[in-house]
Amino acid sequence: MAEAAREQGRAARAWVRLPSGRRLDLLAPTPFDWTDEDLAIGLSRTFRWGGHSVWPQPLSVAQHSLAVLALRRAAGRAGLNRAARPAATRDALRRELLHDAEEGLTNFDCISPLKPFLGQGFFELQQRLSAAIATRYALPAWTEAERRLHKRLDIAMAAAEAVHVAGWSREEVRGTLGIRAAVMEADPLAALHGEEPWRPWPPDRAAERFLAALRGLV
């Protein structure tokens, strides 16, 4: 009887303990369940490409998010059709930085081959977390033009990461991954931080830089 009660209690638990000590309820998250530090730490310890890397360390979602933010800022400053580009407002940049934020609360960035097997329940969990994040950080809804630009930048980073971090060939990026974007040679973060191009940062460094960027945009 006691063992059955313990099993039922374990099955019913749907919250996780965050570094701050706060509890995040995955079934009913609120915008107050985590600190900014919790989010930065979570994203710095959540890895792209299933954690696979040709470097000694894997690439964190925090570093990826900062790279996409850097591309978005650059897109707002350059281009032949600049007048037609969505404005790089603080709201737009904050939403760009946080485009994968729910992954830092679950510590899970699902690789593409696995996604079809996760089911509706996991999709709904992600939606609940995304809604709480949007409320917490006052993220506006994407316009169609903004979403198109975001996808282009996010896919461009994925193509570059596949080659420079995960070890895919350019032919595999196009043929196996189905990514048609050209592979960038220049790391958008290297000049900003004086780092070796495409080298994944240690989690503490990624968390610190993510947190600084977030606080600069809130």
Residue with the larger pLDDT of the pair 85 and 142: 142
Burial of 33: CB neighbours in 10 Å, binned 0-12, 13-18, 19+ = buried
Kindly state the average pLDDT of the residues 95-100: 98
Architecture in CATH of 29-217 = Orthogonal Bundle (1.10)
Residue 5 is predicted with a pLDDT of 45
- Predicted confidence band of residue 37 (pLDDT cuts 50, 70, 90): very high
Query: What count of residues does the chain have?
Result: 218
Q: Three-state SS across 99-165?
A: CCHHHHHHCCCCCHHHHHHCHHHHHHHHHHHHHHHHHHCCCCCCCHHHHHHHHHHHHHHHHHHHHHC
Give the HSE-up count for residue 109: Cα atoms under 13 Å, Cβ half-sphere: 22
Q: Determine contact, residues 41/60, Cβ cutoff 8 Å.
A: no
Q: How far apart are CA 138 and CA 141, in angstroms?
A: 10
Kindly state the average pLDDT of the residues 100-111: 96
pLDDT tens column, 111-126: 989 989 999 999 999 9
What is the SS3 assignment for 34? coil
